[in-house]
């Protein structure tokens, strides 16, 4: 059994009771498999976000060398339009926009601190 981020053991039903039926045990096993897959995806997302952040730092340094402003609203609109066009769901376009607005905020912060 693995530990979840909340510190509880996976593979148990709520309240740490054993599954009442073989069907419930199969569901618990499948939930654990899916959670493990999500953990793997989270690790990949962290790596990709940090790679993207490195790009933002480099852009910040380059902008500094030629005196460009960090905040470029037209570029942010392009990024948001691009991710919405790439999105096939199940997250809707508004959810994707909210996620990327936060990512862009952090990238802008890194650009400012890189110069």
Please provide the DSSP assignment of 41-87 as one string. HHHHHHHHHHHHHHHHHHHHHHHHHHT--S--HHHHHHHHHHHHHH-
Residue 18: pLDDT band by 50, 70, 90 thresholds? low
Give me the residue label for tokens 């340094």: 61
Task: Quote the CA–CA distance of 84 and 8 in Å, as a whole number.
Answer: 36
* Phi, psi torsion values for 9, nearest 5 degrees: -80, 140
Domains of the chain: 14-114 (1.20.59.10)
Q: Which two tokens stand for residue 20?
A: 């009442």
- 37-63 residue pLDDT tens: 999 999 999 999 999 999 999 999 999
Q: Given this model, what pLDDT does residue 17 score? A: 55
């Amino acid at each position: 059994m693995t530990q979840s981020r909340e510190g509880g053991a996976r593979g148990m039903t709520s309240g740490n009771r054993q599954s009442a039926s073989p069907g419930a045990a199969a569901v618990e096993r499948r939930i654990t498999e899916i959670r493990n897959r999500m953990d793997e995806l989270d690790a990949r997302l962290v790596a990709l976000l940090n790679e993207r952040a490195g790009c933002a730092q480099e852009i910040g340094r380059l902008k500094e060398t030629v005196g460009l402003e960090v905040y470029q609203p037209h570029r942010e609109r392009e990024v948001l339009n691009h991710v919405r066009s790439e999105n096939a769901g199940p997250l809707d376009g508004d959810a994707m926009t909210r996620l990327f607005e936060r990512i862009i905020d952090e990238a802008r912060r890194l650009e400012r601190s890189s110069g």
